[in-house]
Amino acid sequence: MRILCPTDLSHHSKIALEYAIHLANEFKAELHIITAFEVIKRTGSLIDLEETVRKNTEEDLSQLIAGVSPLVTSDIMPVTKVVNGQAVDAILNYAKVHDIDLVVMGTQGKNSLRKLLFGSVTRKMSQKSPIPVLAIPEQIAHKLTSNKLLLALDGKVIDKENIFDIPKTIANHLGLKIDIIHISEKEEEIPFDPFITAYLGDLIGEVIIKEGKDIVLEIKRYVEDHNVGMIIMIKRDKGFFKRLLTVGYSSEELARTNIPLMILPE
């Protein structure tokens, strides 16, 4: 497994980096740590300025790595790199070139998932990335401490089985089950794609089907009552996932759960 952890060198991105290091240790994964910088060229040549910014960024990244290096227990040392370009494009390009399997990113602010939902590089990555993105809130331990993985499903067809490769790898390695939750406003004959049973097999744990008008709020309540360690969702252009990217009471409520959120590509 190859894990990419982009960092903006802030405190909250350090929390995500510690989480990524734990995952890399646990899975003997190859960890890539990058930071991006961008010098906007308005007039003339700014080569000297670009080199200065790169050098300063490299020094800052080295200091960050020195602070977390004692956490690395794997024999596979992290790969570090400073890249030039707009953050989202630089991350996506790096992930493609280096065949990354999972992107782990921090989110900003005390209610960090709120920033995932309402703005930031992490939100844009969750929308554009063709590989899973794991968003780590600031107020959390540096590793997965709960034995519950919760997959929130809507009623739409799931076209690609391989989108579950990373959650399945995590569940298998840690000996965990993946619980499924589906919230609907009314009773449904087929609540979610039945092929999920074939995709996940015996990794499926408890299946929770609830009725409720506010899907986001119902998920938040379940998460808080059952000590969930990670929420897993499938990116959608419409419907439930899109609702999460809309400012409102429900989204604010989910943001306060401070639970790692894995976004799977559709």
Indicate whether 218 pLDDT > 90: no
Rounded to whole angstroms, how far apart are CA atoms 108 and 115?
A: 6
**What percentage of the chain exceeds 70 in pLDDT?**
82
Indicate whether 249 pLDDT > 50: no
HEC letters along 13-67: HHHHHHHHHHHHHHHCCEEEEEEEECCCCCCCCCHHHHHHHHHHHHHHHHHHHHH
Going edge to edge, which strands form the sheet with 204-211?
79-84, 30-37, 2-6, 102-106, 133-136, 261-264, 230-234, 149-152, 178-184, 204-211
Rounded to whole angstroms, how far apart are CA atoms 114 and 211?
A: 25
Residue carrying the six token digits 């990373």:
166
pLDDT in tens, 84-134: 888 899 999 999 999 999 999 887 644 444 444 444 777 788 788 999 999
pLDDT in tens, 142-154: 556 667 899 988 8
Contact call for residues 83 and 75 (beta carbons, < 8 A) = no
Alpha carbon 219 to its chain's center: 18
Which segments of the chain belong to CATH 3.40.50.620? 2-136, 149-259
Q: How many CA atoms lie within 13 A of 197 on its CB side?
A: 6
pLDDT given at position 45 = 60
Q: How many CA atoms lie within 13 A of 39 on its CB side?
A: 18
pLDDT grade, residue 9 (50/70/90)? confident
pLDDT in tens, 121-140: 777 887 889 999 998 887 66
For the domain covering 149-259, report its CATH number. 3.40.50.620
Indicate whether 183 pLDDT > 50: yes
Domain at 2-136, CATH from 2.60.40.10, 3.40.50.620, 3.40.718.10, 3.40.980.10? 3.40.50.620
pLDDT given at position 46 = 59
pLDDT grade, residue 160 (50/70/90)? confident
Rounded to whole angstroms, how far apart are CA atoms 168 and 258?
A: 23
Task: Please compute the mean of the pLDDT values over residues 178-202 and round it to a whole number.
Answer: 85
pLDDT given at position 144 = 67
Task: Please compute the mean of the pLDDT values over residues 43-60 and round it to a whole number.
Answer: 77
pLDDT given at position 37 = 85
